[in-house]
Every structure is written in structure tokens, then in C-alpha cells.
């Protein structure tokens, strides 16, 4: 067999045979003579005839689609926001997506459905709500709305995240002033609570002192006072120093101590 024949066979083999690799996180769909194959190709090497067949690949991993959009509010304001849409393609819908939507599905359906869903949801909330704890509720509502519209078309919407919210200048200042007022009110409440606790402590202390004095005064009857006087006389009698004691035996002692020689 001549050399030219070998070359012709090699060219024919290369022309009518080719191979591609479907990577992890992707699926492939063969399009042969313009007709899509219903079978979805998983990760691995795929052989095909490049003259009549093409392998279209779609990612099935989670995709982060970032959008800058103006969100309408209940009072008619437009709130500038940067949004992340986390979604993925359901592998079994890959062929249907390519056939009915095409490979530019992000622009055709994902972005369009988001703008519609966000306008419907955000128009029920005030602009300030997008900057407060209501933000997570708004995100969940948009996610649910998009899932209802895109779930049957092969897309799973995992989350919609309002990352950056830019309120109109006047409203932003009003929100800041409100937050500052709330913080001042909380600080004042703390101070009032602390003063109240301190007043209660002093009241308890005064009541304890009063009760102690009451117990002492009730215990100082004439018999107790006379007994204490006798005990005092006994202690004085044992002292080595000379003393002059002036007393009638009932009243408290009046003593003058004289140092011994």
C-alpha cells in the first residue's frame, strides 16, 4: 500500500472521528444533523463524528449570576442594588433547555424572570425594609417566586441575595437618624434600669438597717440594761487601776480612771 493511501486513510479517520471530554459539574447533549439526542452525557470522554454531530455542554454546578438592578419600592422609589442569583440546571432537563431556550438561558429566562419577580415582591415593601431585617424576607420571597416560574423548566433557584443596597440620599439619612434614635433610646433605657436597680438596692439596705435597729431597741428592756450594768461593774472590779465611779446603780456608768503609782 502506497504512502498516499495511508495518508488518505488517516485524514478520513480524523475527519469522521473525534472526541471531547465532559468534565465534572457538566453534562453533554449530542446534536446530530440538527436533532438533539434525548440522552444526557455524564462526565467522561465522548466520541462523535464532527462532520454531522456536535456535543453541547451545560454546567450543572451552582452558578452565581450577578445583576445590578433598580428595585421598585412601595412608596415609588427606585433602590439601586447588586444581586446574586444562585441557581443550577437540573441534569435531566439539559436537552429540553437547549431545545426550548438555547444556551443563552441566563439572558433569556433567568434575568428576565428575576426582574419580574423582584418588581412584584419589592413593590410590597418600603425602601427602608430592604436595608433592615426585612431584607432576608424579601430575598426568600423573590427566590420562591422565581422557583415557581422556573422549576418546571429545569432550573433550581437556590437563593437570591441582595448584597448591596443603595438607598436614595434623603431616605438613607432618615434611616440612619432613626437607627441613632433607637440606639439612644436603648442607652437611656439601660441607664434608667441601672438607676432603678441601684434605688432598689439602697431601699433594701435601708430596710435592713431599720429592721436591725428595731431588733436592738426591742431587746434593750430595763432587765437587760441592769444586767449589762452589773457585768460592767464586775469587769471594773477586776481592773488593777483605781477608779471613781458615780452611779445610782441604774443609769449608765460615769468613770474616772486613776493611774496607779
**CA angle 175–180–186, rounded 5-degree value:** 125
Q: Which residues of the chain have pLDDT under 70?
A: 1-3, 6-17, 168-180, 215-228, 230, 232-237, 239-261
Does this model's pTM top 0.85? no
Handedness of CA 91, 96, 99, 103 (dihedral sign): negative
Q: What is the DSSP letter of 108?
A: I
What is the pLDDT, as a whole number, of residue 224? 65
Q: Are 165 and 131 in contact (CB under 8 A)?
A: yes
pLDDT in the model for residue 8: 65
Residue 166: phi and psi, rounded to 5, are -120, 100
User: Candidates 3.30.479.30, 3.10.20.310, 3.40.1010.10, 3.40.50.1820; correct CATH number of 63-172?
Assistant: 3.30.479.30
CATH 3.30.479.30 spans which residues of the chain? 63-172
Q: Given the DSSP bridges, would you call strands 53-59 and 63-72 parallel, antiparallel or unpaired?
A: unpaired
What does the pLDDT read at residue 44?
87
Grid cell, residue 46, equals 465522548
pLDDT of 178-234, one tens digit each?
666 777 777 788 888 888 888 888 888 888 787 777 766 666 666 666 666 767 666
The Cα 11–Cα 58 span in angstroms is 30
Kindly give the pairing relationship between strand 242-246 and strand 155-166. Answer: unpaired
Measuring CA to CA, which residue among 15, 36, 39 is closest to residue 27? 39
Amino acid at each position: 500500500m502506497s504512502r498516499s493511501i495511508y495518508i488518505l486513510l488517516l485524514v478520513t479517520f480524523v475527519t469522521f472521528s473525534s472526541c471531547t471530554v465532559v468534565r465534572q459539574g457538566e453534562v453533554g447533549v449530542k446534536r446530530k444533523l440538527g436533532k438533539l439526542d434525548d440522552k444526557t452525557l455524564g462526565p467522561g470522554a465522548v466520541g462523535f463524528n464532527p462532520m454531522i454531530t456536535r456535543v453541547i455542554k451545560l454546567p450543572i454546578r451552582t452558578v452565581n449570576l450577578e445583576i445590578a438592578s433598580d428595585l421598585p419600592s412601595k412608596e415609588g422609589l427606585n433602590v439601586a442594588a447588586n444581586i446574586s442569583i444562585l441557581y443550577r440546571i437540573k441534569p435531566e432537563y439539559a436537552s429540553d433547555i437547549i431545545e426550548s431556550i438555547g444556551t443563552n438561558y441566563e439572558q433569556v429566562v433567568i434575568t428576565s424572570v428575576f426582574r419580574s419577580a423582584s418588581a412584584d415582591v419589592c413593590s410590597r415593601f418600603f425602601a427602608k425594609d430592604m436595608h433592615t431585617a426585612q431584607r432576608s424576607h424579601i430575598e426568600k420571597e423573590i427566590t420562591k417566586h422565581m422557583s415557581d416560574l422556573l422549576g418546571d423548566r429545569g432550573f433550581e433557584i437556590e437563593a437570591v441575595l441582595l448584597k448591596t443596597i443603595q438607598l436614595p440620599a434623603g431616605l438613607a439619612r432618615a434611616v440612619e437618624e432613626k437607627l441613632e434614635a433607637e440606639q439612644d433610646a436603648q442607652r437611656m433605657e439601660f441607664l434608667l434600669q441601672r438607676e432603678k436597680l441601684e434605688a432598689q438596692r439602697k431601699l433594701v439596705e435601708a430596710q435592713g438597717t431599720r429592721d436591725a435597729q428595731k431588733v436592738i431597741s426591742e431587746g434593750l428592756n430595763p432587765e437587760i440594761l441592769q444586767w449589762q450594768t452589773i457585768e460592767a461593774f464586775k469587769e471594773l472590779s477586776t481592773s488593777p487601776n483605781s477608779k471613781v465611779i458615780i452611779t445610782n446603780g441604774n443609769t449608765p456608768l460615769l468613770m474616772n480612771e486613776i493611774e496607779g503609782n
